[in-house]
Structure 1
């Protein structure tokens, strides 16, 4: 099954065994790629040689900080991938954790770790924005 077939499938087939297998494979691949990227970032940082020039060292430290933030963000994706795969096994994958409504194939193709339908996600983000604004 490919993306085109997923998008063309009738609603009655939503999250059937074939679709779940497709997303499980996609999540496995995303997990492998993410771990490989984290390893590559760590190896790159370890391979950085010490420089004596102050400006070069400052630039190297700045690049290392950016790389660490990227690696940390990717590291945070791993539990989300694992949770999505657990939802596949439990039969909850593809359905909003808050409303139980289908998340939708198109959204899952873009973000296979999605836990909420678009409406709930939008409301939650708006609430987060209000709380952040009030706390400033």
Structure 2
């Protein structure tokens, strides 16, 4: 199954076994890629050595940025694992808040999505209301 087939599938086919297998594989690949990216960032940080003070400052700044990127990527791993758990439980593809379908297009863009677009928008509006 490919993305085009997924997008052209009827509503009756939503989250059938073949679609769930497609997303499970996509999530496995995303997890592996993410772990590889984290490891590459770690290696990049640990290998960098310079003696010049200005070069060291630049290197430290780049290391801080790399650490932030690695941390963001590390936070993705539990989301991937949770999405794969939802696949096994039969809940994947449905909003955890409303139970409505999340939609193939959204899941292709963000396979770890837990909320439908409408629920996510409402939650973000609530969060921004409480932040002020």
TM-score scaled by structure 2? 0.98
Q: Distance in 1 between matches of 2:66 and 2:5?
A: 37
CA RMSD, aligned part only? 0.6
1:57 pairs with 2:56: yes
Residues 33-48 of structure 1 correspond to what in structure 2 (within 5 A)? 33-48=33-48
Deviations 1:18-41 (A, max 9, x none): 000000000000000000000000
Residues 96-111 of structure 1 correspond to what in structure 2 (within 5 A)? 96-111=95-110
Q: Which runs of 4+ in 1 moved over 3 A?
A: none
Look up the match of 1:116. Answer: 115
Look up the match of 1:26. Answer: 26
Q: Distance in 2 between matches of 1:17 and 1:52?
A: 57
TM-score scaled by structure 1? 0.95
Deviations 1:10-67 (A, max 9, x none): 0000000000000000000000000000000000111101x22221111101000000
Q: Distance in 2 between matches of 1:29 and 1:131?
A: 36
Task: Extract unaligned runs of 5+ from structure 2.
Answer: none
Deviations 1:68-126 (A, max 9, x none): 00000000000000000000000000000000000000000000000000000011111
Look up the match of 1:2. Answer: 2
Task: Extract unaligned runs of 5+ from structure 1.
Answer: none
